[in-house]
Amino acid sequence: MPSSSQADKLLVQRVRSGEDEAWNELIARFEGRLLAFVESRTRQRARAEDVVQETFIGFLTSLPNYDPRRSLEGYLFSIAAHKLTDQLRREGRRPTLPLSPGTSSGASSWEPRAPDRPASSILRSGERRHLEENALAAAIGEQIVQWQRRGDWEKVRAAELLFVRGWANKDVAARLGISEQTVANHKFEFIAKLRSAVRKQGLPEAVFPELYADSAEAGREEGDR
């Protein structure tokens, strides 16, 4: 799991102090993967390079908001994703949705704040959401590492298809060559772990609807049978 390494933290520190050499180093380290990420969508090298260029400028202008505990690569990818979305909208490829104002599409500290809510209320709700998200990310990450250490790759695969791809139990079962009941059991085990983390940390259940949906109950009942 990529996280912000000590080397990345030092590099950002040097960039913050305005060192040309550090900035060159950061560009050299990350431009290739950002270019590949963007080009897979633009399918044109020149336009992809323009988006990556805007990404680096976006990184420098947003540097005061960057939290060095966050993965540097993840931060750069999130800026690139937003710059790419803007580019595709300008080209008419990505339709503009009737968005409600606020901070949708993830926590993007580099984006300007929405003008129609007081900054303090956005900050408060953003902080709370951040805390909830980080707590659940830690619980999911802990479970994944535990499964990997035990060699329970089937459980990692099942949870990833269920929750990251949103597949139904029967499709996961067919793809992994296991029974639907086994998938339901894996799902129940995962959800139970996360519910326990939510309880222990005193997080509000209502903001994690998937953990308390009927399907989770159904999984438990089937699993108990």
Q: For residue 27, which amino acid is it?
A: I
Q: From the CB of 200, what's the least distance to other proteins, in Å?
A: 17
Which stretch, 136-144, 177-185, 214-222, contacts other proteins (CB under 8 A)? 136-144
> Hey, which residues between 56 and 75 contact other proteins (CB under 8 A)?
56-57, 60-61, 63, 71, 73-74
Which stretch, 149-157, 178-186, 215-223, contacts other proteins (CB under 8 A)? 149-157
Chosen residue from 4, 113, 132, 223 binding other proteins by CB under 8 A: 132
For 134, phi then psi, to 5°, come to: -65, -35
| Euclidean distance between CA atoms 138 and 26, whole angstroms | 28
Residues 6 or more apart whose Cβ sits within 8 Å of residue 86: none
Q: From the CB of 2, what's the least distance to other proteins, in Å?
A: 6
Which stretch, 121-129, 177-185, 217-225, contacts other proteins (CB under 8 A)? 121-129
| Euclidean distance between CA atoms 44 and 61, whole angstroms | 26
Nearest to 76 by CA among 94, 62, 90: 62
How many CB atoms lie under 10 A from the CB of residue 120?
Answer: 8
Which stretch, 32-40, 178-186, 214-222, contacts other proteins (CB under 8 A)? 32-40
Site string for other proteins, 166-195 (x = CB under 8 A): xx-------x------------------x-
Enter the DSSP assignment of 65. G
How many CB atoms lie under 10 A from the CB of residue 69?
Answer: 9
Q: From the CB of 109, what's the least distance to other proteins, in Å?
A: 13
Q: How many residues sit in the footprint of other proteins (CB under 8 A)?
A: 78
Q: From the CB of 32, what's the least distance to other proteins, in Å?
A: 4
Q: Does 115 bind other proteins (CB under 8 A)?
A: no
| Euclidean distance between CA atoms 210 and 26, whole angstroms | 38
150, two tokens: 């035990």
Kindly tell me which of 86 and 221 has the beta carbon lying closer to other proteins: 86
Place of tokens 């209502």: 206
Q: From the CB of 181, what's the least distance to other proteins, in Å?
A: 21
Q: For residue 107, which amino acid is it?
A: A
